[in-house]
Structure 1
Amino acid sequence: MIYTVTCNPSLDYIVSVDNFRLGMTNRTGSERILPGGKGLNVSMVLRNLGIESVALGFAAGFTGEEIIRRTEEEGLHTDFIFLKEGISRINLKLKSVDGTEINGRGPDVGKEEIRCLMEKLHYLTDGDILVLAGSIPCSVPEDLYERILERLEGRNVKTVVDAEGKLLLHILRYHPFLVKPNHHELGALFGVKPGSREEAIPYAEKLRELGALNVLVSMGGEGAVLAAADGGIYSASAPEGKLVNSVGAGDSMVAGFLAGWTEKRDYEYAFSMGLAAGSASAFSESLATREEVEALYGKIPCNRPYRPA
C-alpha cells in the first residue's frame, strides 16, 4: 500500500480577479475551493491513475472537517489525526495576479498528535511506500521527517520525500527511494542556478551521492531529469501545451513516477509517466486524469539512459 503524509493540509481558495486593484474592493471572476497539500495531491493523482493509497496527516476545526469530507467524497482513503484546537489553514491563490498566493499558518501540532502519527506509521511493512510531502508546521519538530525515516529503517519500506532545504538534506542518509526537488530547490541546496536539464544533472547526481536512490528534478517547461538508482540518467523536455495551473504539477509528477514504477519496475517508464502526469496537471484546471496522462505519455520521446563519463 502507498501512504502519503500531509502535515499541514489546506482548503485552497482559488480565485481570479479581473483588473485587480491594490487597496480597493475587488470581486472575483471565478472561484473554486479544493482540498490542498502536497501529500493529498499525490494521493488524488494516484487515485486518478487507478492506484489506492491512504492519506495521513493532521486536521483541525471546521476547515479540517471540510478537507476530510471533500477528500473522502473524491474517493480517497483518509486516516487523519484530528487536533483538539485550531483550524486547518486556508490558502488563497490569486490566479490572475502572477500566481500570487497567501498561505495560512495552520494549527499547532502537539507531542501527543505526533506520537499518534508515529504509531500509525509503525504498522508499515515490507513492500509499502511512504510519501512525505511538503513543509511541516512551525509547531512540529524540524527533524520529524528524519525521525520517521529512522523508525522505518530496515523494514523494506520505500520512502519518497518531496521537501526542500534542510528537510531534504537531513534525510538523505536514510537512503530514500525517491526525492523530487524542482530546479530552484536543487539550485538553492548547492548555491547555483541550473537553467537547463544538462546543468541540473551533476547536482542531481550529488544528491544520489549523498544517499538518495533516485533523484527526480522537475524543471517546469524545461521538462525533467532523473538520476536513477542504476546510475542511468534520463532527461526529456516537457510535451507541448498551455500552462493553465502550476499548483500540484510537482506532486502529480511524484504520483506518475510511483504509478509507473509500481506497474513495470522500469525507470524509463516511471520517468515518462511522471513527466506526463506533471504536465497533464499543469495544462489543466484540476489534477491530472488517467486520460490526460495517457495522451501526453505518447508525446514524450523515448529516453535511453546514459551514464556520464
Structure 2
Amino acid sequence: MINTITLNPSLDYVVKVNNFKMDSLNRSKNEEVYAGGKGINVSIVLKNLGVENTALGYIAGFTGDEILKQVIDHGVNCDFVKLNKGLSRINVKLKSDGETEINGSGPEITSEDLKVLYGKLSLLTKGDYLILSGSIPNGVPDDVYETIIKILLDKNVEFIVDSTKDLLLKVLKYKPFLIKPNHHELAEMFNVEINNDDDIITYGKKLQEMGAKNVLISMAGDGAILLPENGEAIKRQVPKGILKNSVGAGDSMVAGFLAGYLKNNDIDEAFKMGIATGSASAFSKELATKEEVYKLLSQI
C-alpha cells in the first residue's frame, strides 16, 4: 500500500482579483477552495492515476472537516488524526498581476498526538511505501521525519522524501528510495550557486553519497534530472504547454514517478511518467488527471 503523510494540511483559498490595489477595497473575480498540502496532492494524483493509497496526517476544526471531505471525494482512503483543539490552516493564494500567498500556521500538535500517528504508522509492512513531504506544524520536533523512519526501519518500508533542507538531510542516512529537491532547494542545502546541469549533477551525487538511492531534481520549465541508484544521470525536457498553476506540480511529479515505477519497476519509465504528471498539473487549473498525463507522456 502507498501511504502519504501531510502533517500540516490546509484549505487553499484561491482568489482572483483584477488589478489588485493595496490599501483599497478589491472585489474578487473568482474564488475556489481546495484541500492542500504536499502529501494530499500526491494522494489525489496517485488516485487519479489509478493507484490506491491512504492519506495520513492531522486535521482540526471545521477546516479539517472540509479537508477530509474533499480528499474522500477524490476517492482517496483517509486515516487522519482528528485533533481536539485548533483549526487546520487556511492558505490564501491571491492571483492578480502576480501571485501572492499567505500561509497559515496550523494547529499545535502535542507529543500525545504524535504517538497516535506513530501507532498508525507502526501497522505498515514490507512492500509498503511511505511518502513524507511538506512542512511541519507548531509543536512538532524538527526530527519528526527521522523519528518516523526509525519506527519503521525493521519493517522494510520504502521511503520517499520531498522536503526542504534539514528535514531532508537528516533522513538521508536511512537510504530513502527517492528524494525530490528542486534546483533552488539543492543550492540551499549546500549553500552554493547552481549555474548549470553539471552543478546539479555534482550536488545531486553528494546527496546519493549521503544515502539517497534515487535523486530527482526538478527545474520547472527547464526539465528535470534523475540520478538513478544504478546508472548515469538522465536529463529530460518538459513537454510544451501553457503554465496555469505551479501549485502541486512537484507533488504530481512524485506521484507520477511512483505510479510509473510500480507499473513495471523501470526507473527511466518512472522518470518519464513523473515529468508528464508534473507537467499535466502545471498546465491545468487543478491536479493532473490520467487522461492529461497520458496525452503528455506520448510527447516525452
CA distance in structure 2 between the aligned counterparts of 1:144 and 1:230, rounded to whole angstroms: 29
Q: Quote the offset at 1:83 in angstroms.
A: 0.4
Q: Which residue of 1 aligns with 2:231?
A: 231
CA distance in structure 2 between the aligned counterparts of 1:56 and 1:97, rounded to whole angstroms: 36
Q: Deviations over 1:53-112 (max 9, x none)?
A: 000000000000110011111211100000010000000011224221000000000111
Give the AA of the match of 1:34.
Y
TM-score (norm 1): 0.95
CA distance in structure 1 between the aligned counterparts of 2:167 and 2:26, rounded to whole angstroms: 38
5 Å-filtered alignment, 1:1-309, equals 1-300=1-300
3-state SS of the aligned residue for 2:154?
coil
CA distance in structure 1 between the aligned counterparts of 2:199 and 2:265, rounded to whole angstroms: 27
Q: Quote the offset at 1:136 in angstroms.
A: 0.4
Q: Deviations over 1:253-274 (max 9, x none)?
A: 0000000010010011000000
> CA RMSD, aligned part only?
0.9
Q: Deviations over 1:112-159 (max 9, x none)?
A: 110010000101111000001101013101110000111111321110
Identity %: 53
Q: Quote the offset at 1:164 in angstroms.
A: 0.5
Give the AA of the match of 2:292.
E
Contact 2:107 2:138 (8 Å CA) reproduced: no
Q: Deviations over 1:223-259 (max 9, x none)?
A: 1011111132111111111111000000000000000
Give the AA of the match of 1:5.
I
Give the AA of the match of 1:254.
V
CA distance in structure 2 between the aligned counterparts of 1:275 and 1:260, rounded to whole angstroms: 11
CA change 1:198–1:7 in 2 (3 A) is same
Contact 1:197 1:222 (8 Å CA) reproduced: no
Give the AA of the match of 2:261.
W
CA distance in structure 1 between the aligned counterparts of 2:37 and 2:296, rounded to whole angstroms: 24
The 4+ residue runs of structure 1 with deviation greater than 3 A are 195-198
Give the AA of the match of 1:111.
S
Give the AA of the match of 2:68.
I
Q: Which residue of 2 aligns with 1:307?
A: none
Contact 1:238 1:275 (8 Å CA) reproduced: yes
3-state SS of the aligned residue for 1:185?
helix
Deviates more, 1:189-198 or 1:3-12: 189-198
Provide structure 2 residue ranges, at least 5 long, that are not aligned to the other structure: none
Contact 1:54 1:77 (8 Å CA) reproduced: yes
CA distance in structure 2 between the aligned counterparts of 1:221 and 1:79, rounded to whole angstroms: 35
- How many residue pairs get aligned? The number is 300
Contact 2:59 2:80 (8 Å CA) reproduced: yes
TM-score (norm 2): 0.98
CA distance in structure 2 between the aligned counterparts of 1:266 and 1:67, rounded to whole angstroms: 34
CA distance in structure 2 between the aligned counterparts of 1:236 and 1:197, rounded to whole angstroms: 11
CA distance in structure 1 between the aligned counterparts of 2:126 and 2:60, rounded to whole angstroms: 32
